[in-house]
Amino acid sequence: MLRLESGVVKQVLLKRQGMQVLEVFLPETSQTEHAISYSQEHYEEGEELLINTTAIRLQLGTGGYHIVVGKSAEKNPVDVYPSTWGHVMKMRYAPWQLAVDSVEEQHSPYHALFNNEQVSLEGTPVLIGELHSLLPAVASAIKQTDSDLRAVYVMPDAASLPIGLSQQADHLKRKGLLGSTVTTGHAWGGDLETVSIHNGLLAARHVAQADIILCILGPGVAGTATTFGFSGMQLAEVTHAVSLLGGVPFFIPRISFSDPRERHLGVSHHTITVLKRFALRPAIVPVPVWDDERDSRIARQMDGICQQTDHLVLRAAAPAEEELDELERMYDLHFSTMGRGWRQDPAPFQTAALAGVLAAKSIPYIKDSISDATNCSVGRDILARLGLFLTRSGV
């Protein structure tokens, strides 16, 4: 199904980098509804648009927006997404394919960097996660732990393709909690563009000068209630890329005790599936400890993972709810995941915040013991020594 409808601009409700929200009148329903445009076009009241209404007509959770294809009455050629040197196409062969300034392509000033097979992440910690809604908690926890750290967000292409959809990324940048963004694969609209997740990570480290990298899927992950049919499967590839490029992977488990679905209670089956069978390189897995019955459920689930893998589980006290309140005030918008705030379901945000703290506090050890020596994969022995450092540091 691909449903296209005509609409008429009523007004522009919101305009930020990479995205505009329009109020449009749709003759098909005789109603005024909301639509998103990712172009840099200027819209006037009364202009006629071609609009993709597929997701809303299917009642899918796209945030309640239609998608603007373009101005249906436009007669002159127009460049709605200007680039400088770009010849790399994203969304290739789709009606909305566009050329971007990919940092690794031949005309890029950074081409030589990515032509060096020895370039590595130099031990940079990379936080890997499925739920985009936890990005603010992770970024805020990093900044609260060490305000001097520069965090860069790398968005893979397993969920939303335009980063302009992310209110979180835009707001975090404006608050100084993120230094820059990178979009990889067919995802587009970041401060930097790359063809692959591997170069996206390297661009975050060497072009955007990241001290710490956040690699979390974009908004709008898909799930099918099947074992392998969910967007988070891409996180196995991300874990491999981080490890083999000489970074330190911190895998943020998806944990909830308020989700009504049994498969997502405690540690989500998404996390278990990726870590137990498909993430073939070891990662550090931060796990909160609550000192109540929640711990026993988490322990059983994590033991099932650890018996078959080399992942290193780091258990530490769950951040207090008062700390979540402080982080939310730092972010200056409400934390929310799966329609629930931290007061209704603190566990996801405590897990994300703990991961951010552990990654930030690992950097002194990395600088002293890993960064100069790491031009190859990070194995279990390195992760174990890092875990011992964090334990001895009282974390």
Radius of gyration of the chain (CA): 21
pLDDT given for residue 146 in this prediction? 97
Q: Which amino acid is at 10?
A: K
Domains of the chain, residue spans: 4-71, 112-392
User: What's phi and psi for 73, nearest 5 deg?
Assistant: -100, 10
Cα diameter, the chain: 67
pLDDT given for residue 375 in this prediction? 59
**Torsion angle in degrees (nearest 10) through CA of 133, 138, 144, 149:** -120
Helix (H, G, I), strand (E, B) or coil at 124: coil
pLDDT given for residue 62 in this prediction? 59
Q: Which residues pair with 129 in a beta bridge?
A: 216
- In angstroms, the CA 240 to CA 249 distance is 9
Q: Which CATH number fits domain 4-71: 2.60.40.10, 2.40.50.220, 3.40.50.150, 3.40.50.1980?
A: 2.40.50.220
Residues 3 and 29 sit within 8 Å (Cβ to Cβ)? no
- pLDDT tens column, 19-38: 899 999 998 888 899 999 99
- In angstroms, the CA 258 to CA 301 distance is 17
Confidence (pTM): 0.93
Beta strands in 219-283 (DSSP E): 248-251, 255-256, 266-267
**From residue 270, how far is each of 296, 330, 338 by CA, in Å?**
19, 30, 15
- In angstroms, the CA 377 to CA 246 distance is 5
- 167's CB contacts (< 8 A; 6+ apart) are 333
- 195's CB contacts (< 8 A; 6+ apart) are 88, 102, 104, 105, 184, 185
pLDDT given for residue 26 in this prediction? 92
- pLDDT tens column, 137-188: 999 999 999 999 999 999 999 999 999 999 999 999 999 999 999 999 999 9
Q: Report DSSP state, residue 86.
A: -
pLDDT given for residue 379 in this prediction? 85
Q: In which residue ranges of the chain is pLDDT below 50?
A: none
